[in-house]
Amino acid sequence: MRYLKCLLPVFISIFWQPIFGQAFDEDVEIEYIKSIYENILVQSSSYDWLHYLCKNAGGRLGGSPEYAAAVAYTSHMLDTIGADSVWTQPVEVDYWRRGNVEKAKIINSKHLGTVELSVVALGFSPGTDPLGITAQIVEVKNFEELEALGEENVKGKIVFFNRPMEVTRLNTFHAYGAGVNQRTAGPRNASKLGAIGAIVRSMTVKYDNVPHSGATSFKDEKPIPAVAIGLKDADLLSKIIKKEPKTRVNIQLGCLHMGKRTSHTVIAEIKGTEKPGEIILVGGHLDSWDIGEGAHDDGAGVVQSMEVLHLFKRMGIRPKHTLRCVLFANEENGMFGAIEYARLAKANGEKHIAAIESDAGGHTPVGFRMDAENSIAKSSFAKVQQWRSIFSTLGVWDIQPGGSAADISRLKDQGTVLFGYRPDSQRYFDFHHSRNDIFENVHKRELLLGSGAMCALVYLIDKYGIK
């Protein structure tokens, strides 16, 4: 009996791990994850990668030569850091080109004369002839006001959608979500009533005169020229309409829909040592709008995702599961990269146990949002809550269910636990989809701290599982 008692601790130590899961020592993990952060803060190449991506490829709409340059560069770097395999996944995308002409002006105002307005074309807007379109402008705050005007008051006119983002919403993404439908659907709703053009107040909370682009869409409606306008000029236009209800505006655009092009999602992975058939995905979208450099949206997410693989290679961490970095094509103007990736994952019987996407800028990390099918959502969230104190020591405190990110959301119905990385949101829409989204507006330390948060989450999921 004494002999058996002596063997009992040995028996438990040998068989506890595979039966009940790996023992969790919070203090040990805190110290190890701090070493991950230290490694990133000293040795990461991601800020240099971002510089090259922004300055050498620049704004990179799906299907463009700039996007092809980004594919070549990121593929090369992922191969250079020692990923086990790197490949690209082709996808057909709609290629829209901005052109060299983007102008709008108030015509012969009694109070102001002719005034140039700060505008950019919205993605998928058609162009105009060289003289542009000129018409009376009508202002609305929402679709209800547009419908109330009716076809008799809209036909042949330019509709001005002038609903600001709600500054009282503490989370700027919530404010954006509440207002962005006037950009995505406003022009087509105006077209239904016979409008010949549309102007949309930019989606930003920074009061300047820098217009912010983004996609608009037309279905069966006739596409009409559509532009975003800077906030100061939006307010100027609103004031002059109140004084002169028959104010006329001219819009000139050189943009053009170029048809289908083959683009590519970039994929790299490190094979798992124990469960190579189970994938932990990290990713962002490689495309961006073309008027800036796509630094925050989503160059930051691209290099943070690449850094996860690089960190594991640098520190000699051999993951149990396969770690896969996916740089999605075409998020900004179609989501076809994510759609094709999810389709092929399902067709090939791939098992993604978790997917983490960074697509909210390179600012200071705050936390993660989680999403999953109902059957696994509760258990996976409970698992992550066990690590809350680890993350809180790193300043990553806000881990909540509800939402993830656009590209990885396509994997939800395949049983994947989804994580959307969340940095501080207050300054993101100062830059989003504008010429201000440049490398110089990304703070190196904030970018690297975000990489640390993503690496820490991947490390814990890989070691302890997620369900």
The C-alpha angle with vertex 228 and arms to 224 and 232, in degrees rounded to 5, equals 140
- Counting residues of the chain whose pLDDT is more than 70, the rounded percentage is 95
Q: Which residue among 254, 273, 306 closes a domain?
A: 254
Q: Are residues 138 and 215 in the same domain?
A: yes
What are the tens digits of pLDDT across the range 281-320?
999 999 999 999 999 999 999 999 999 999 999 999 999 9
DSSP string, 383-423: HHHTTHHHHHTTT--EEEES---TTGGGGGGGT-EEEEEEE
DSSP string, 83-103: -SEEEEEEEEEEEEE--S-EE
What are the tens digits of pLDDT across the range 146-160?
999 999 999 999 999
On whether residue 264 sits in a domain, the answer given is yes
On whether residue 242 sits in a domain, the answer given is yes
On whether residue 15 sits in a domain, the answer given is no
Q: Are residues 227 and 367 in the same domain?
A: no
- How many Å apart are CA 56 and CA 67, to the nearest integer? 11
Q: How many domains does the chain have?
A: 2
Q: Which residue among 234, 254, 274 closes a domain?
A: 254
Q: What's the mean per-residue pLDDT of the chain?
A: 94
Q: Are residues 218 and 293 in the same domain?
A: no
**Those residues with Cβ within 8 angstroms of residue 442's Cβ, 6 or more apart along the chain or in another chain:** 47, 50, 295, 296, 299, 300, 362
- How many Å apart are CA 356 and CA 342, to the nearest integer? 14
Please determine, for residue 19, whether its predicted confidence score (pLDDT) is greater than 50. Answer: no
What's the pLDDT score for residue 24? 81
CATH of the domain at 197: 3.50.30.30
Q: Are residues 297 and 402 in the same domain?
A: yes
- Per-residue pLDDT band at 11 (split at 50, 70, 90): very low
Please determine, for residue 145, whether its predicted confidence score (pLDDT) is greater than 50. Answer: yes
Q: Are residues 193 and 266 in the same domain?
A: no
Q: Are residues 453 and 365 in the same domain?
A: yes
CATH of the domain at 309: 3.40.630.10
What are the tens digits of pLDDT across the range 70-91?
999 999 999 999 999 999 999 9
| Choice among 7-16, 142-151, 339-348, 409-418 with the minimum mean pLDDT | 7-16
What's the pLDDT score for residue 13? 35
Highest average pLDDT, of 11-15, 249-253, 401-405, comes from: 249-253
On whether residue 7 sits in a domain, the answer given is no
Average confidence (pLDDT) over 174-203: 97
Average confidence (pLDDT) over 425-431: 97
Structural domain of residue 336, as residue ranges? 22-96+259-464
What's the pLDDT score for residue 183? 98
pTM of the predicted structure, to 2 decimals: 0.94
On whether residue 9 sits in a domain, the answer given is no
On whether residue 325 sits in a domain, the answer given is yes
On whether residue 202 sits in a domain, the answer given is yes
Please determine, for residue 17, whether its predicted confidence score (pLDDT) is greater than 50. Answer: no
Q: Are residues 337 and 406 in the same domain?
A: yes
- Per-residue pLDDT band at 22 (split at 50, 70, 90): low
Q: Are residues 53 and 149 in the same domain?
A: no
> What is residue 195's three-state secondary structure?
coil
On whether residue 3 sits in a domain, the answer given is no
Average confidence (pLDDT) over 97-115: 96
What's the pLDDT score for residue 23? 77
What's the pLDDT score for residue 16? 34
Q: Which of 451, 396, 456, 420 is nearest to 48 (CA)?
A: 451
Q: Are residues 264 and 250 in the same domain?
A: no
Q: Which residue among 199, 221, 254 closes a domain?
A: 254
Q: Are residues 177 and 157 in the same domain?
A: yes
Q: Are residues 117 and 176 in the same domain?
A: yes
Q: Are residues 148 and 278 in the same domain?
A: no
